Chains A and B, each alone.
Chain A
Amino acid sequence: MSIIAALPEVVSLVAEGTDNPRADFSDTPLWLTVVKALIVFVYLLVSTLLVIWFERRVIGRMQQRPGPNRNGPFGLLQTLADGMKAMLKEDVRPKAADAFVFTLAPIITASMAFVAFAIMPMAGEVSMFGHTTPFQLTDTPVAVLLVLAVAGVGIYGVVLAGWSSGSTYPLMGGLRSSAQMISYEIAMGLSLVAVFLYAGSMSTSQIVSAQSDLWFVVPAFFSFFVYVITMVGETNRLPFDLAEGEGELTGGFHTEYGSMRFAMFFLGEYINMFTVSALATTMFLGGYQAPPGLASVFGGALNEGWWGLLWFTAKLWMFMFVFVWLRGSLPRVRYDQFMRFGWKFLIPATLAWVVLVAFFRAGQNGWLGGTWDVAGRSFPVVSLVLVGVIAVLALVGGWMWDTRTERKEAAAHPEIPDEIDPYAGGHPVPPMPGQRLREPSLTAPALPSAPDTEEAPRG
């Protein structure tokens, strides 16, 4: 009953903090919002053009070949040429396709990819055409949920593309990738809950400003680990690109697509990569804030205004490099293993982690007992107890796991005796490597004597 009695206090503590976004749009006229929307759009398009070239060049380097280097300096215009080619190609639609949905699907994918970027804070307060405005299109108290919701709508593009193609491989690819994206979205959402708990808000601008002392990658390290895995699964990239496994499904959901419709899927996929990377940057790596060390030089000048765009872009491209690196080094996983990993490891583990973080946070807020001073710093007792319990559990679990593997190992490899009686079973058996042959025992059944019948003379 004490919990129930404590509830009103907890409620009053919750009510104290407001979660309204900290970004201040009061000095932002409508036309400036339109200009910012245009800037975000162009930023994404140019980044996509660059990242396709970047990916091909880096993978080329990893595979000891040059990669595209013919069009423009360093092959920079290769993507532009590919895009022009896609536009000029013949627009083919299969006879069995559902005409309306077949065209709708790529439009959904491409347009939804752009929407999610509207809430990313790409820089702090900047002055733009005489107005002081945060460099993000909009912000709401539920900005991060908006990204997840938009991603959920974006999956429709994939599912509908698979269905409307009127063919088997696309249907299977569409089902696969949508099942994959939905499953990994659950783990992704759960991993972000820890960040919400630390920041006390779901608005991106508040989350970034809550990281001014410590990036959340440190306290929420397990969330970061889960998020990075789910972000690769969410974007259908290698090693999780099962939806397009060429060996199994030809092209997956976009098998029947060509020309501009295919280009739109391509664009959507790359912008989705930017979106999840931008979300990772915002949630875990301090968003547009300068890296530690640089943040305090020149009296914090590097942490203000347009400098934020540089740090944001640098962190974004770090994640893009990780995407390419993964693609260059890892083989594709098997679909059932992938799903088992998502449902049976990532989701339960993240759930446990969120509960743990909730306890830590409650301890920090002083709701669960007092503090304990160790070496001049005070820690909540609950956190220390929890850390102790987890350490003990990890030790016990590791020991149990060790003994179990040892037992399994012993069961799998029974001990081989040094000597072997080759005729023990009545049938000659060759020795295993390292075994000695024993002389045939007297008790062994006698070898059958030579056959009575002589071979009949031939001819």
Chain B
Amino acid sequence: MTGTGEEVMFWILGPLSVLGALGLVFAKKAVHAALGMALTMIILGIFYIAQDADFLGVIQIFVYTGAVIMLFLFVVMLVGVDSSDSLVETLTGQRWATAVLSLGLGGILGAQIGRASLDDAVGLDAVNAQTGNVSGVAELIFGRYVWVFEITSALLITAALGAMVLAHRERLGKGPNQKEWSKRRFQEGEHLAGLPAPGVYARHNAVDTPALLPDGTPSELSVSRVLTARDQNLAPEEYTAGERTIERDVQEGGER
């Protein structure tokens, strides 16, 4: 049986958790999506606690919100601002297939859940009063299911080690030193004197001002990729436009 307090809490937090889940799907910024997921995870943890599973609820918040989604956030924050989601369909007909499949899955789930008949909830009161929440879980994990638990953890550790081994790139030879770099640069024959420095030949010497090439065009190579992606580069137009006005005035004056 659900008490009044629990019901009130459910009707406040339930919609909020759905909102978080929808935010994960529809948010434009990746960080907002991760935040939506964190909200849903916290509310799930609170639901567990409300149903007397204190240990599970706290661990849910501790592990998922505190560790897993924090790692998501890390990655999302560190991904460069200039990498954006590609909206091109790589597999033809992928969207339609996804729509059909998710509709089907939703239909099956809805039909099954609608048909299910639930008995009265047993609750954890009796178990909590007898052995306690943590000891009860410990008894199951380290007693009845000890081998399942140990094998699963061994599997997870193997997976983590495997991921590290696969992602780790061992350097086979020694890295090129400065001399070899310069030799390679001359063999390739491009940018023999290094990339153009920002602000050179322009009217400004800041890093966000692209260098002007001898023909007057700004050089993309001279400024940081990130600044270009953020649209934070200064355009040299305001300076070249001013120069052109002066040139025109001079020309007009000469013709007069």
Instruction: List residues of chain A with CB under 8 Å of any chain B CB.
Output: 7-8, 10-11, 14-15, 17-20, 98, 101, 140-142, 145-146, 148-149, 151-153, 155-156, 159-160, 162-163, 171, 174-175, 178-179, 182, 185, 201-202
Mask for B45-77, Cβ within 8 A of A = 1, else 0? 100000000110011011001110010011001
Closest to A168 in B: B226
Give the contacting residue for B70; candidates A11, A152, A201; CB below 8 A.
A152
Q: Knowing A142-B54, A159-B73, say if A101 contacts B35 (CB, 8 Å).
A: yes
Complex CA gap A149/B129 in Å reads 24
Partner of A142, one of B31, B42, B77, B134: B134
Interface, chain B (partner A; CB < 8 A): 29, 31-32, 35, 38, 42, 45, 54-55, 58-59, 61-62, 65-67, 70, 73-74, 77-78, 128-135, 138-139, 142-143, 146
Residues of A within 8 A of B59 (CB): 145, 149
- Find chain B residues with CB under 8 A from A185 CB: 66
Closest 8 CB pairs of A and B: A152-B66, A11-B143, A149-B62, A18-B132, A19-B132, A149-B61, A141-B133, A145-B58
Smallest beta-carbon distance A140→chain B, Å = 5
CA of A20 to CA of B62, assembled, Å:
20
Q: Is the CB of A11 within 8 A of B142?
A: yes
Question: Which residue in A18, A148, A175 is a CB contact (below 8 Å) of B130?
Answer: A18
Closest residue of chain A to B69, judged by CB?
Answer: A156
Q: Chain A residues with Cβ under 8 A from B29's Cβ?
A: 98
Given contacts A7-B146, A18-B132, A19-B135, contact A182 B67 (CB under 8 A): yes
Question: Which A residues lie within 8 Å of B132 (CB)?
Answer: 18-20, 141
Tell me how far the C-beta of B23 lies from the nearest C-beta in chain A, rounded to whole angstroms: 12
B54 touches A14 (CB 8 A): no
Q: What is the CB-to-nearest-CB distance from B191 to chain A, in angstroms, rounded to a whole number?
A: 27
The answer on a CB contact under 8 Å between A8 and B143 is: yes
Residue of B nearest to A17 (CB): B135
Q: Which of B35, B134, B146 contacts A141 (CB 8 A)?
A: B134
Residues of B within 8 A of A202 (CB): 134
Most chain A Cβ neighbours within 10 Å, of B62, B74, B77: B62
Query: With the chains together, A171 CA to B81 CA distance in Å?
Result: 13
Give the CA-CA distance A178 to B143 in the complex, in Å.
Answer: 37
Look across to chain B and name the residue whose beta carbon is closest to the beta carbon of A145.
B58
Contact in complex: A14, B138 (CB < 8 Å)? yes
- Check B133 against A19 for contact (C-beta < 8 Å): yes
B82 to chain A minimum Cβ distance, whole angstroms, is: 15
The answer to whether A152 and B65 touch (CB under 8 A), given A15-B135, A18-B131, A163-B31, is: yes
Give the residues in chain B near A8, CB-CB below 8 Å: 143
- Minimum CB–CB distance from A52 to chain B (whole Å) comes to 28
Residues in chain A near residue B32, CB distance under 8 A: 101
Is the pair A20, B128 in contact by a Cβ cutoff of 8 Å? yes
Neighbouring B residues of A18 by C-beta, 8 Å: 130-132, 135
27 contacts between A and B (CB under 8 A): A11-B139, A11-B142, A14-B143, A18-B132, A19-B132, A20-B129, A98-B29, A141-B133, A142-B55, A148-B62, A148-B66, A149-B58, A149-B61, A149-B65, A152-B65, A152-B66, A153-B61, A153-B66, A159-B74, A160-B31, A160-B35, A163-B31, A163-B77, A174-B77, A175-B74, A175-B78, A178-B70
Cβ of B55: which chain A residues have Cβ within 8 Å of it?
A: 141-142, 145
A202 to B135, CA, bound (A): 11
Determine if A155 and B58 form an interchain contact, defined as CB atoms under 8 angstroms apart.
Answer: no
